[in-house]
Amino acid sequence: MVSMTARSSVAAALVFAAALGLIIGSAPAWCLCVGFAAVAWRILVARGRLFRPKRRTGMRFLLGAITALLVVAVAVTFRTLSGLGAGTALLVVMGALKVLESRSRRDDAIVIGVALFLLLAAGLAGQALWRLPLYLLTLWGACAAMAWRRSRCTATSHSASASRPWPALSPEQSTRW
């Protein structure tokens, strides 16, 4: 059985994968391979097929080195770091790194946000009418993943006000309004 935390991570990873699918024509193949490999790893970890590496002192240095290597690879591929193609490639590889190192609800929200920015990049790159249902389906998936993440947040809290999506006002605050 998969926990609520794992389901939220899988939902965020699947939304990221759907956004990757929309930019297949406008990003280099190696960037897409990195992105899809990160999504596959995240799903396998969430399902318990692979074990998440433990936090160690050198892990931040390793992630920093991988980040620098990927930025250099994008710069070599495009000969620039600006523009729609290079920006999309950077967003893909940085989103893939975030998928790899995500551990909390906030990280899942960031992955979903990256997927939404990839959706915008896909809309800028390809504006054919037949792609509109794919864009809407990915947008719906991102909204559903955010709602899933939010419901997991409120389901773990035991207070009576946790079911409300807005903050409760104290009596002092309500008299000021």
Q: Residue 58: what pLDDT? A: 83
Residue 63 lies in a domain: yes
Residue 117 lies in a domain: yes
CA distances from 158 to 149, 154, 162, 166 (A): 17, 8, 7, 16
Helix axes 105-125 and 4-22, enclosed angle (nearest 10): 10
d(CA 61, CA 140): 36
Range of the domain at 72: 4-154
Residue 101 lies in a domain: yes
CA dihedral 35, 39, 42, 44 (to 10 degrees): -130
Residue 162 lies in a domain: no
Q: Residue 93: what pLDDT? A: 96
Query: Does this model's pTM top 0.85?
Result: no
Burial 138-151 (b: 16+ CB within 10 A, else e): bbebbeebbebbee
Q: Residue 160: what pLDDT? A: 46
Helix axes 4-22 and 29-46, enclosed angle (nearest 10): 160
Residue 15 lies in a domain: yes
Q: Residue 168: what pLDDT? A: 58
Q: What is the pLDDT along the chain (177 residues), one digit of tens a residue?
A: 567 778 888 999 999 999 999 999 889 999 999 999 999 999 999 888 888 878 778 888 988 999 999 999 999 999 999 999 999 999 999 999 999 988 888 899 999 999 999 999 999 988 889 989 999 999 999 999 998 877 755 555 544 445 555 555 555 555 555
Residue 82 lies in a domain: yes
Residue 172 lies in a domain: no
Give the length of the chain: 177
| Structure token pair of residue 169 | 């006002």
Give the total number of structural domains in the chain.
1
| Structure token pair of residue 50 | 């692979």
Residue 163 lies in a domain: no
